[in-house]
């Protein structure tokens, strides 16, 4: 294994270890969902038995609009993690994303840590993944190889300027990114999704991204895992003011959803969604899909895959209750003025 590949794999292992702790949470900033309250409907006529979350995503049927977010790959422990996560995704019938495939371009040593996802995900959407800092140096043929490796249904480009800025091995160079994205969208065989990793995507950036031809935006706002915190811990610089940098998830979902008037895209709400209530509020604010990562990883490795399944299904049971109490027969109904800021309740 080359030195660069070894360094990449070691870094991924460190990321997994740190994300199993709560040390990497935002310290003061929240995801913003606590500022909202659902509008109770005392005259609900919703039939609970007729609520269904089934839909098609990238041509495949899913039971719940919930994504096991892009987490890992390219390291020894990643194969087992991805194997267990994919078993859950296939059983529950939800999409799953793979962690950055950067290491897969460096050598074939850990290719199976990625490939195992498609080998077990027989019927659900699988999302490939590369970082924007890598994309600016790659051509479409190299990206297509990553798609083919997974037989991916969509491909995620993760935008992590804050992480690259602070990472000891970081590559904070994104010049030409929008042109690269536009070229990728035109030539690659699957839809492209742009995703932040914890600092959020706001409306202006989202519009510029959508103009390149991408088909999805994962806002991945602040309030969950601080990837600035991850990298600052790695270099023992824990008092850095960038730890809490970013835009709250609730703000990002609410403002980016306004672009639905003029653009056709999938809006994924993620960033510190760690409860059924937060997930429900993400949908009410405009998300088409929600996603979580660290809480899923922690539950998987601390309690086992069955508890991940139980958690996801319990969240959607709660969501049915929210829909009943807000007179929302469909998720699309939940987006129609069923939530408001708490200060308006006084």
What per-residue confidence (pLDDT) applies to 208? 98
The answer on whether 294 is annotated among ligand-binding residues is yes
The domain spans of the chain are 3-345
- Give the residue among 145, 281, 288, 285 at the shortest CA–CA distance from 217: 288
- Please tell me which residue, 251 or 1, carries the higher pLDDT value: 251
The answer on whether 163 is annotated among ligand-binding residues is yes
pLDDT one-digit tens code per residue, 299-329: 999 999 999 999 999 999 999 999 999 999 9
HEC string for the chain: CCHHHHHHHHHHHHHHHHHCCCCCECCCCCCCHHHEEECCCCCCCCCHHHCCCCEEECCEEECCCEEECCCCCCCHHHHHHHHHHHHHHHHHCCCEECCCCHHHHHCCCCHHHHHHHHHHCCCCCEEEEEEHHHHCCCCHHHHHHHHHHHCCCEEEEEECHHHHHHCCCCCCCCCCHHHHHHHHHHHCCCCEEEEECCCCCCHHHHHHHHCCCCCEEECCCECCECHHHHHHHHCCCCCCHHHHCCCEHHHHHHHHHHHHHCCCCEEEECCCCCCHHHHHHHHHCCCCEEEECHHHHHHHHHHCHHHHHHHHHHHHHHHHHHHHHCCCCCHHHHCCCCEEEHHHHC
Q: Tell me the average pLDDT across 100-112.
A: 89
pLDDT grade for 50, boundaries at 50, 70 and 90: very high
The answer on whether 69 is annotated among ligand-binding residues is yes
Percent of the chain with pLDDT over 90: 89
d(CA 108, CA 1) in angstroms, rounded, equals: 9
What per-residue confidence (pLDDT) applies to 76? 83
Are 24 and 18 in contact by the 8 Å Cβ rule? The answer is: yes
The answer on whether 103 is annotated among ligand-binding residues is no
* pTM greater than 0.75 (yes/no): yes
User: To the nearest whole number, what is the mean pLDDT of the chain?
Assistant: 95
What per-residue confidence (pLDDT) applies to 6? 59
The answer on whether 61 is annotated among ligand-binding residues is no
Tokens at 259, concatenated: 């672009």
| Residue in the block written with tokens 């590369």 | 130
The answer on whether 89 is annotated among ligand-binding residues is no
Q: Could you give the dihedral angle defined by the CA atoms of residues 261, 263, 264 and 270, in that order, rounded to the nearest 10 degrees?
A: -90
pLDDT one-digit tens code per residue, 147-188: 999 999 999 999 999 999 999 999 999 999 999 999 999 999
What per-residue confidence (pLDDT) applies to 23? 93
The answer on whether 129 is annotated among ligand-binding residues is yes
The answer on whether 122 is annotated among ligand-binding residues is no
The answer on whether 10 is annotated among ligand-binding residues is no
What CATH number belongs to 3-345? 3.20.20.70
pLDDT one-digit tens code per residue, 71-80: 888 888 999 9
């Amino acid at each position: 294994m080359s030195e660069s590949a070894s360094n990449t794999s070691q870094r991924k292992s460190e990321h997994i270890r740190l994300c199993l702790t709560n040390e990497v949470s935002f310290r003061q900033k929240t995801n913003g969902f606590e500022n909202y309250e659902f509008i109770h409907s005392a005259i609900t006529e919703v039939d609970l038995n007729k609520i269904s979350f089934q839909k098609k995503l990238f041509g495949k049927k899913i039971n719940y609009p919930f994504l096991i977010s892009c987490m890992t790959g390219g390291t020894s422990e990643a194969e087992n993690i991805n194997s267990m996560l994919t078993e859950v995704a296939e059983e529950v019938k939800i999409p799953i994303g793979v962690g950055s495939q950067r290491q897969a371009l460096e050598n074939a040593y850990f290719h199976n840590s990625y490939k195992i996802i498609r080998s077990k995900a027989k019927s659900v959407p699988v999302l490939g993944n590369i970082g924007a800092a890598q994309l600016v140096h790659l051509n479409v043929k190299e990206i297509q190889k990553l798609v083919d490796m997974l037989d991916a249904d969509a491909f995620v480009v993760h935008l992590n300027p804050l992480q690259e800025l602070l990472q000891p091995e970081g590559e904070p160079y994104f010049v030409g990114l929008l042109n690269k994205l536009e070229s990728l969208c035109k030539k690659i065989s699957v839809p492209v999704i742009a995703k932040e990793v914890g600092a959020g995507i706001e409306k202006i950036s989202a519009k510029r991204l959508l103009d390149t031809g991408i088909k999805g935006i994962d806002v991945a706002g602040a309030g969950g895992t601080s990837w600035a915190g991850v990298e600052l811990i790695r270099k023992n610089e824990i008092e850095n003011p960038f730890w809490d940098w970013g835009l709250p998830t609730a703000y990002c979902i609410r403002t980016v959803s306004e672009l639905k008037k003029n653009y056709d895209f999938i809006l994924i709400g993620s960033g510190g969604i760690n409860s059924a209530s937060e997930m429900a509020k993400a949908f009410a604010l405009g998300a088409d899909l929600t996603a979580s990562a660290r809480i899923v990883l922690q539950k998987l490795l601390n309690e086992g895959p069955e508890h991940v399944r139980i958690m996801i299904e319990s969240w959607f049971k709660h969501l049915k209750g929210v829909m009943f109490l807000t007179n929302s027969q469909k998720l699309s109904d939940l987006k129609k003025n069923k939530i408001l800021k708490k200060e308006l309740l006084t």
